[in-house]
Amino acid sequence: MIHTNHTVRKNNEAFILQTIINNIEISRADLSKLTGLNKPSVSDIIKNLLHNHIINETRLGASSNTGGRKPILISFNAKVASCIAINIDRDTIEFNLRYIDGTLIHSLIYDYDDFISLIEDFNSPKLINFLQSNINTLLSIDTDSFYGTKGISIAVHGIVKNDKIMFTPNYKLDELDLFSELSSIYDIPIYINNEANLSALGEYTYSSYSESLISISIHSGIGAGVISNGNMLVGKKGSIGEIGHAIIYPNGKKCPCGNFGCLEQYISKKVIYDTLQEHFNKKINLSDIIKYWNQKDPFVREFITKYVTLLSIQINNILCTLDPATIVINGNLFFNISDLLPLLHKNLSNNLYTNANIKLSTLKNDAILLGCVAQMARHFLKVEHLKLTNIFNANSAYPKA
């Protein structure tokens, strides 16, 4: 690859900015030492970042042991811009307005009953109007950021390639060119991606120190987002990580994707609730499942144990194929029943993976929305492998990674 002076400058600027973010506060002299760039280059880049309001001069630091002037410390401007993040699930749709550092400004949440006709009957104009109304509400909020809202980032539960929705098994969103519709309304960048990919990007950017990880999302469906050396892997058709459509039972239950015996037909959120509601002959919620598990109800214990077993088989296959540094599990049953993660580890009996780093998400249901913000932030800040973990951990109430 031929590197022009412009390319080198941009790479150095991204390197400097990421180093500032990693250190929370830092002086120009320490930046030069940590990056290996000479002081004039560092000063020139800092001048440009200050001019563009990407960073701030915050306060005077301590003098060195030899005395001299106190250095001016520099920090990332976490409020330089904001992003509208939208998660369109089958059961809920959530709109967030967040600063680049992940801080939540405002949230709008609608449950299944509020938008069922828009998704299942699929009235395209009504859906666009619904999205536009809520986006406009968030755009009207004064964020006190220099650039304001610089992107609308949307998570879809299905296959997405280059912002185009290719296939959605649980609703008909693939019948709509959502990117073109919203791009014709708004003059800020629109981003659309798969929810599991965005969940992985959210973990990578705001929670994890690993450069390679896989995030397994267990929501209306099951998906795995894959980050390798900071890059989101999507594949030729955008279908990398569609583990919910891996066949676990040959000639098993019919799946909307066209296959028979897909994992999603046995352990998705919908299957769990439908099965338990049929067994108990009543509407079941998460609290009921937790209660029955703690009471050691035989049917619930057997069913949930089988659920974990099937998931562990798929995780074993992932470990054999990709060998990630970390696997993050994001699912409400795992968050609320502490027995499940040890049970999953116990099922991974392969000697190669008995000590695999498999953990629960600390971001939980916010991982997808934070991934939406991270997607916009990478483009806006022009930092390819952006990590905001240190800033996010310092400023948030989330458990530390």
Q: Is 31 a member of any domain?
A: yes
Dist CA 154 CA 152 (whole Å) = 7
- pLDDT for 86-112, tens place per residue? 999 877 899 999 999 999 999 999 986
Same domain (yes/no): 257, 316? yes
Tell me, letter by letter, the H, E, C secondary structure of 276-288: HHHHHCCCCCHHH
Sequence-ordered list of residues with C-beta below 8 angstroms from that of 98, at least 6 positions apart, any chain:
82, 83, 85, 104, 105, 369, 370, 373
Same domain (yes/no): 352, 303? yes
Q: Is 286 a member of any domain?
A: yes
List the beta strands (DSSP E) in 331-376.
358-360
The domain that holds 180 is classified in CATH as 3.30.420.40
Q: Is 41 a member of any domain?
A: yes
Looking at residue 2, what is its pLDDT?
46
Looking at residue 1, what is its pLDDT?
44
- Give whole-number Cα distances, 214 to 45, 65, 200, 351, in Å: 34, 45, 6, 20
Looking at residue 397, what is its pLDDT?
56
Dist CA 214 CA 319 (whole Å) = 10
Same domain (yes/no): 245, 351? yes
Tell me how far the alpha carbon of residue 169 is from its chain's centroid: 20
Q: Is 401 a member of any domain?
A: no
| Residue 115 in tokens | 């938008």
**What global pTM score does this model have?**
0.91
Same domain (yes/no): 175, 312? no
Range of the domain at 63: 5-76
Q: Is 289 a member of any domain?
A: yes
DSSP conformation class of 372: H
Q: Is 250 a member of any domain?
A: yes
Same domain (yes/no): 131, 231? no
Same domain (yes/no): 249, 339? yes
Last residue within a domain, chosen from 76, 98, 119: 76
Return the closest-CA partner of residue 86 out of 182, 171, 214: 182
Q: Is 40 a member of any domain?
A: yes
Same domain (yes/no): 227, 166? no
Q: Is 400 a member of any domain?
A: no
Looking at residue 333, what is its pLDDT?
94
Written as one letter, the residue type at 247 is I
Neighbours of 124 (CB within 10 A): 15
- DSSP per-residue letters across 114-132: HHHIIIII--HHHHHHHHH
Q: What is the largest CA-CA distance in the chain?
A: 77
Domains identified in the chain, total number: 3
| Residue 141 in tokens | 């909020």
Return the closest-CA partner of residue 225 out of 327, 320, 308, 307: 327
Same domain (yes/no): 252, 381? no
**What residues of the chain score a pLDDT lower than 70?**
1-6, 64-68, 112-123, 349-355, 396-401
Same domain (yes/no): 39, 10? yes
The domain that holds 32 is classified in CATH as 1.10.10.10
Same domain (yes/no): 213, 353? yes
Indicate the angle between helix axes 286-294 and 298-322, nearest 10 degrees. 100
Same domain (yes/no): 346, 229? yes
- pLDDT for 299-335, tens place per residue? 999 999 999 999 999 998 888 888 888 999 999 999 9
Same domain (yes/no): 215, 354? yes
